[in-house]
Structure 1
Amino acid sequence: MNWILVYDKEIDTNHSVHLTGDRHNHIQNILKKSVGETVQVVVPGSGNYIFRIQSTEDNSTTIQKESPLPEVLKPLEIRTFFSLPRPQTGKKLLHLSGAYGVNSLYFYATETKNKEYWTSPVYSKNSVSYLETGLSQTGNSRFPSVIQERTVSWKHFLKTWQGTVLVLDREGGNFYQNIREQNERFEETLFVFGPESGWKPEDLLFFEESKFKLVSLGKINLRTEFAYSALLHQLFSIRN
Structure 2
Amino acid sequence: MSQVNNDPSVNSVLSNLNVANKNKDDEKPNEMGQSAFLELMITQMNNQDPLSPQDNTEFIAQLAQFSSVEGLERLNSNFEDFSGSFMSNQALQASSLVGRSVTVPTESTQLLEGGIVNGSVDLESSAGDMRLNIYDDKGALVANVPMGAQPAGELAFRWDGQNMEVNGELLKWQGGEEPVAPGEYRFEAIATQNGESQQLDTALSANVNSVTLGDDGQLTLNLAGVGAVNLGDVKQFN
TM-score of the pair, normalised by structure 1: 0.21
Say which one has the larger Rg: 2
- Asked which structure has the greater RCO (Cα within 8 Å, sep 6+), the reply is 2
TM-score of the pair, normalised by structure 2: 0.21
Q: Which has the higher strand share?
A: 2
